[in-house]
Every structure is written in C-alpha cells, then in structure tokens.
Amino acid sequence: MTAAKVRSGRESVRVRYKCGLLNTIQDVLRRRQGWVEVKEEGEWDFNWCDVGWIRENFDHSYMEEHVRINHFRNHFELTRKNLMVKNLKRYRKTLERDVGRTEASKCDFFPCTFALPSEYHLFVEEFKRSPGSTWIMKPVAKSQGKGIFLFRKLKDIMDWKKDGTRSEDQKDAAQVESYVAQRYIENPYLINGRKFDLRVYVLVTSYVPLKAWLYRDGFGRFSSTRFSLSSIDDKYMHLTNVAVQKTAPDYDPEKGCKWQMQPLRRYLTAKHGRETVESLFKEMDNIFVCSLQSVQKVIINDKHCFELYGYDILLDQNLKPWLIEVNASPSYTPSSQEDYEMKCRLLEDTLNVVDMEGRLTGKEKRVGGYDLMWNDGPVFREDVNLETFGSSCFTANTHLGCVNDREKQLRRLLKPFPGQKRM
C-alpha cells in the first residue's frame, strides 16, 4: 500500500502530509489532489521538514514501509562545506590509487580548499606559495552569504579573530566551529561585466544503489555590481546569493537578479557554439555524479528518504565549471512570479518522482521536468543507436537548460486516479 486509503463509493489515494516550512512547498502540497495536512501530533505518510527536525527526531521515529521524508539522516556529508571537500578529496585519492590519475582528474572541479582551524598550517604553506592571490573565507554551516569575506593577507585572518575588528556578520560566523579557506576564482565568466553562478537541482531517491535525477530548469544568480578585483570588500560584487543581492541599494525587485537556465543556455550557445556548450554541460553532469559518488559510502541509505539538492556552480572565463557548494535546503522562497512558477514545477515534479500515489512503474527515465541521470550506472537517451555503445556518441540522459515540456510528458505518463479527470 503506497499511502493511507479511504473508501467513498470507489477507492482513492489519500496521503497524510506534514510540512515544517511556510513557503512554496506548502502551496504545492495543499494543491495536490488527495493530500491532506495533519496536525502536529497526527500520523503522517509524507514529511517535508527542515534539517533541524531530522537531527532531533529521525533516530526516534518509526516509519512504515510507504512513508517518505525529504532528507537523509547524515545529508551534511555533502552539504557542509568542510565535509563536502573532505569527501571529494578522499574520493579523488581513492580513484587515483584504484584507477589512475586520469580518472582521478575528473574530480578536479572544486577550488583548492582547507578546513580551518584543523588544516591551518597546510593552508599557510599553500598561501605563501602564491603571494597576492585572493582567498575567500566561509563558515561551514552558514548559508545566504552570512559570515563570508575575501582576503589577501594572513593578517586579515588574524584581525578577523580579534573581537574588536569583526563586523556583526563575522562575529556570527565566529560562533561556528569550523570555516573553510578557499582559493577565490579570480577569473569568473562575466555577462555584462557581472559575476554569476548557476543553481541546479538534483534529486536523489536512493544511495544504494545510487539513483539521481537532474531537473531541466534552474537559473543564474547575478551580482548587481560590475566585477573587479580592485575591491575585495564589496559583497554585492563578489557574492551572488539572492539574500545578499536583495539588500543592495540599487536592487530592483521587479527585475530581480536571476536569469532562467533556458535563455542562459541559449545565450552561451549563441556566443560559443553548440559543441562548446554541450561539453560544458557534460562537465557539469560529471560534477553532479562524482560528488554523489564521493559520499555514497558514507551517507546512511534509507528507503524512506530522498533529498533535493541545490548545487551552486561557478563558470570561469575558460567555461570550466567549478563546484562551490551543495545545499540540503535550497531556498523555495520566490523572488519573482517567474521564480515562483519555476519552483512550483520543480516541487510538483519532485512529488511526482517520489510517487506516494503509486502511479509509476519504477522504470521511467523521465518524470515531468526530471531526467534520470544515474541509476546504478549512467543512463542514456532513448534515441541512441545501440550499435554505438561504448563510443562517444552514447549521449547522457540529461537536458539541463533544454525545453521543459513537462505537462505534455506528464499527461502521457500519469494515468488518472480512479474517478479523476485527466490533467
């Protein structure tokens, strides 16, 4: 049985859900046919909670077979900045030992990073090898750009540790146990002179075996100030977080600071050609898969759990993608009507993949805007000639920034519930 069922003349699915967030996900859940919200202590089939709930309640909760929850127990292995880098470094070392340096080089997509204070001496050695270069300091467990600052001198870190010289943000960051010092990407790809990063959504429904879906929509997050290395103190220039940009004096809420992935991909294709951009997006696919594989053996797999990750990717001038961080709780608070509609599509399709209603066969390669990227091995597109197996013509089943004709696809895919009209 996929969820609680009630009879009213004919059988229909009823999903009892609990939601700890008051943003777009709440709207999506309330609109979903047959889903009913339960009060605080009520029994539930589906729980969309924050990571704090997982930390406090997961180990004490008994869950029946059909129950689903939106985080893995130790999701932080990928989403805390220091642990992400630790796991990626270990995975790269394992690949180099077992397969060779060429294969290990596939993991060279994150900037040189040190966990502080534990790797402080290693960091100082690296820092002294490249005098004058720019580094960025980030608290490992903060989000929305809080506590982040750039520096070029070791004394800047020493000053930062002294109570009298810290800003409120930095005092806030100082309460966190650890930080990462990361080499700053000094040559970011610019559009109209402005720095941006890409927010991409990856849904993992299992770690053993690894099963991951890539969403077609996403967006670029732009800074409001033209980029320059002459000023490293201007957060509106260097940090693309929406929470930061919204406080810029010239921020226009009508325009916002986002550009949807489809027009952004078209822009890059017009400027650099289809082949170059396809190669770039293929490198991004590699980032998603390798980062998930790096934590596959440490994440506690649980059939009740799924995770919707928000990846932050930065492009440099050579169109090389860099993994900046992975978010376990990407913001679903919209910054515009367009952003709201995109997040509604994303969350509706997440529920479609999780499939509490039991409408899927489990063999689907596409559900709405999601394409199955990895299923205990790479997933390839349907339209590939099988004779080309093993050749470079074998194309991955990913369509980030491509047409998202999800409604048409869902009409074909999802059969209506008993007594329900088709979408």
If one compares 372 and 170, the residue with the highest pLDDT of the two is: 372
State mean pLDDT over 47-52.
92
Task: Quick: pLDDT tens for 276-296.
Answer: 999 999 999 999 999 999 999
Residue 218 has a CB neighbour count (10 Å cut-off) of 24
Task: Quick: pLDDT tens for 351-383.
Answer: 999 999 999 999 999 999 999 999 999 999 876
Compute the distance between CA of residue 275 and CA of residue 384 in angstroms, rounded to an integer.
18
Task: Quick: pLDDT tens for 113-160.
Answer: 999 888 989 999 999 999 889 999 998 877 777 788 999 999 888 754
Task: Quick: pLDDT tens for 63-85.
Answer: 899 999 999 999 999 999 999 99
Is the bond leading into 209 cis (omega within 30 degrees of zero)? Answer: yes
* pTM exceeds 0.85: yes
Q: Residue 78 — φ and ψ, nearest 5°?
A: -105, -25
Share of the chain above pLDDT 70, in %: 86
Kindly compute the dihedral angle of the four CA atoms of residues 40, 41, 43, 45, in this order, to the nearest 10 degrees: 30
DSSP H/E element including 150: strand 149-151
Name the region of 56 (left: φ>0; alpha: ψ -120 to 50; beta: rest): alpha
State residue 236's pLDDT score. 73
Compute the distance between CA of residue 261 and CA of residue 217 in angstroms, rounded to an integer.
6
